[in-house]
Structure 1
C-alpha cells in the first residue's frame, strides 16, 4: 500500500505558484465604470493576515459569463478586456484590492455579486464566500442573502466608501466571521 502524503496548508507561500499575471485588474486600467473592491483579511484573533490571497470570479455588467458552464451559453463580454477573474495577495497589513466592474444580476434572482475564494496559512483548503454591494435593490430578493439570519448578511455586503469604491473585510473566524459557503 502506498504511503499517505501528509496534509499541507494552502499558505503562506502563495506567491510561489498562485500569482496571476493580470493581478488585481479584472479590467484594463482606464476602463470606464471601473470600481475598486477592497478590504482586509483577518484571522480568528482579529490580526491581519499578511500572506493571504483573495481571488474573485464574476459575471460581466450584463450578468453573463464567458464560460462554458454558463447554462445560457458562453458569451464574450461587451466590455473590451473584461476578464471576470482577479487575484490579489494581501499586503503586510492584510489589505487586498480588486479593480473591476459592477457585475450584472443573474437569473434566479441572484443579486450582483463577486464569488470569492480565500487562501491563507492554516487553511487546508480555500474558503469560499461572496461579496454583494450595498444599496442594490436586488439584494432584498437574493436567495443566498435571504437564507441567512439578518445579523449575518452584512458579512457579505460591501459598503460603498467612495464614488467608485467598496469595502468588505473578511474575517476567517471569530465573532465577526464572514459567512463561508460549502462548495
Structure 2
C-alpha cells in the first residue's frame, strides 16, 4: 500500500429493468452462502480457542455518497494476532495455531456488517519501521470493477502517531480510517463505517 486513492461508484439504473451494478455482485451463493443453507468456509467470527489477543467486535455500515446503505457489499479482513503474527508467516507451535486472521462478511438490508476477532498487535513496516495495530479490509460491491482496499486503525492507540502508512494520508482524512471504541457490557466494540464516495469518503489504498 503506497498511497491513498479514490474510487467512484456507478449510479443505479433508474428504470429498474436491468441490474444497477456493472459487475454482479454474484458472490453470495459461493462466498457468503449462509442464507442459502450452505456452510461457509470463512465467516465473520474468526476467534479461535487458542487465539492470542483481546477479543473485540468490529461493526459498521457500508454506505454510498448520499448516506444510503449498500445492501449487496461483501467485506474481507486479514490481520495479525495479538502478538503481531500473521498466519503462515513463520512456523507456529502451541498458542494461536488455529487462528488464521482471515474473515468474510456480507451486509444486511441496512448495509450493516460485524466481525468478531481479536485486537491485532504491531507488525513490521517499511524501512525498519513498526506499524500500529490495524486490520486490512477488502471491499466488494456493485459498480466496482476491482475490490477496494482500506485499513481499520483503533481509536486511542498511541502507535497511530508514528504509523508509516497512516502518515501517507493527509491529516484531515485520517479520521476515516479510525474505528471509534466503546464498551457494550463486557464487550469492546469498535465502530467503523465505510463510505464509498462523497464527503468523508473512506480512504482507500493501492495494493
Pick the TM interval, shorter chain.
Answer: 0.7 to 0.9
1:16 shift after superposition: 1.9
Distance 1:16 1:153, change over 3 A: same
Normalised to the residue count of structure 1, the TM-score between the two structures is: 0.85
Aligned residues: 172
> Paired residue for 1:177?
201
**Post-superposition CA distance 1:86-129 (Å, at most 9, x none):** 11000000001110000010112200000000000110010000
Q: Does the 8 Å CA contact 1:158/1:166 hold for their aligned counterparts? A: yes
Which of 4, 17, 26 lines up with 1:13 in the alignment? 26
> Paired residue for 2:71?
50
Normalised to the residue count of structure 2, the TM-score between the two structures is: 0.76
> Paired residue for 1:4?
none
> Paired residue for 2:178?
157
Distance 1:29 1:45, change over 3 A: farther
**Structure 1 gap ranges (5+):** 1-7
Taking the aligned partners of 1:64 and 1:74, their CA distance within structure 2 comes to 10
> Paired residue for 1:81?
98
Taking the aligned partners of 1:99 and 1:105, their CA distance within structure 2 comes to 19
Taking the aligned partners of 1:45 and 1:77, their CA distance within structure 2 comes to 48
Taking the aligned partners of 1:59 and 1:77, their CA distance within structure 2 comes to 16
**Structure 2 gap ranges (5+):** 1-20, 33-39
RMSD: 2.2
Distance 1:115 1:10, change over 3 A: farther
> Paired residue for 2:44?
24
Taking the aligned partners of 2:118 and 2:94, their CA distance within structure 1 comes to 12
